[in-house]
Amino acid sequence: MKIGTREREGVTILDPKGKITIGSGDVALRDSVRGALDSGATKILINLEHVSTIDSSGIGELVAAFTTVSNRGGSLKLSNLSPKVTDILQITQLITVFQVEDSEEAALSAF
């Protein structure tokens, strides 16, 4: 998996594509979030529009990213979740923990 990084309106946006699953996508996501934080980012949006599959390891990385960013005084949001990724988060009651927005525009406005 490759994760693009871009800046918009003072927000660092991560664009993962493919699967965030054990052994590949989960590590890539961890590295991307760490890279953004090391670059001084405090507002991070993970755009999940092109993520087809996420497993418990991927969910774990999202949780770790959320707590790491929050502990540093920053803010992390998710946007553009597919119905199945939404279901995965709902089942483990994480949909209420993460700040989830329907679109990138909505997420940017919410920071």
Binding window for other proteins (CB under 8 A); candidates: 4-12, 40-48, 63-71, 100-108: 63-71
- Alpha carbon distance 110, 100 (integer Å): 10
Residues 4-43 that bind other proteins (CB under 8 A): 21-24
CB of 101 to other proteins, least distance (A): 20
Nearer to other proteins by C-beta: 24 or 42?
Answer: 24
Decide: helix, strand or coil at residue 82. coil
Query: What b/e sequence results for 31-65 when a residue is b if at least 16 CB atoms lie within 10 Å of its CB, and e otherwise?
Result: ebbeebbeeebbbbbbbbeebeebeebbbebbeeb
Nearer to other proteins by C-beta: 23 or 40?
Answer: 23
- Footprint of other proteins (CB under 8 A): 21-24, 53, 55-57, 59-61, 63-64, 66-67, 84, 88, 91-94, 97
